[in-house]
Amino acid sequence: MAEYIQETVIKTNDLKRYYQLGSTEVRALDGISFEVKKNDYLAIMGPSGSGKSTLMNLIGCLDTPTSGDYILNGRNVSELDDRELAEVRNQEIGFVFQTFNLLARTNCLSNVELPLIYSGMKSSVRKEQARNTLERVGLGDRVDHKPNELSGGQRQRVAIARALVNNPSILLADEPTGNLDTKTGGEIMRLFEELYRMGNTIILVTHEYDIANHARRIIHLRDGKIESDEKVDNPVLAESELFSNEPKAI
């Protein structure tokens, strides 16, 4: 039987990001090398100033490195111009933020449609795709609601649907439970677990160990370098805790 080789989605090689702060050179990232395979569930942790936000910005193509290589699906995005980076962000990366970043005056369907508008998809097709994605996160009955008519957990589900609607290579989440209470945060982490088991590749940036331990692997940063890269032997969510059918809206 042929051996299954897991596809590499991300590869970084000696990635560096330096800033000039007055006369001081700040080495926010100082030689980061790691790989992310398809359907990995990775948490990135570190204290304030460790470089985790800088790394997230580079992975999300929101910034470019000072030196080194960032390979995304075989393409060296370190060498792309602003237009090409914008294209990669739209097609390859789904963003989930702590503050949801939803458009207040538009309904859930329109919020989720937004990445598809930028990609030039026909209106009828993108509406159907957005509706299907909202159903996927348990909000099929909330398509006409505006953000102020939803709970915090429901707003984050809308944000997750928007991140998923383009079928990105990576789901990149920055402190996704930071604005939620413990119970609601647990429901969102259960949804991430379900998405992981459906084949999504997830990178989670957090400073909370109880959130990071939902992942299958944790990278710890310190002073712009990888301090450790370890597998999580016993993820928080047990098999019996997963959604049996559709996730519930919260």
Superfamily of domain 8-235: P-loop containing nucleotide triphosphate hydrolases (3.40.50.300)
Q: How far is CA 221 from CA 11, 60, 160, 207, 217, in A?
A: 17, 17, 26, 11, 13
Domain boundaries, the chain: 8-235
Distance CA 157, CA 2 (A): 39
List, for residues 91-144, the tens digit of each pLDDT value.
Answer: 899 999 988 999 999 999 999 999 998 878 899 999 999 999 999 999 999 999
pTM of the model: 0.88
Tens digit of pLDDT for each residue in 139-197?
999 999 999 999 999 999 999 999 999 999 999 999 999 889 999 999 999 999 999 99
Residue in the block written with tokens 């019996």: 240
Mean pLDDT for the chain overall:
90
Instruction: Give every CB contact of residue 201 below 8 A, 6+ residues apart in sequence.
Output: 9, 36, 37, 38, 39, 40, 41, 169, 170, 171
pLDDT digits (tens, 9 = 90+) for 198-209: 999 999 999 899
What is the reported pLDDT for 118? Answer: 81
What are the DSSP E strand ranges found in the chain?
8-21, 24-37, 41-45, 67-72, 75-76, 93-97, 170-174, 202-205, 217-222, 225-231
The answer on pLDDT for 84 being more than 80 is: yes
Instruction: Give the whole-number percent of the chain exceeding pLDDT 90.
Output: 78
Across 25-51, average pLDDT? 95
Which pLDDT value is given to residue 239? 45
Mean pLDDT score, 228-237: 88
Give mean pLDDT, residues 7-24.
94
Exposure letters 84-104 (e unless 16+ CB within 10 A, then b):
ebeebbbebbbbbbbebebee
Q: Does 240 score more than 60 pLDDT? A: no
pLDDT at 245 over 70: no
Say if residue 21 is exposed, middle or buried (CB neighbours under 10 Å; 0-12, 13-18, 19+). exposed
Report whether pLDDT(248) > 90. Answer: no
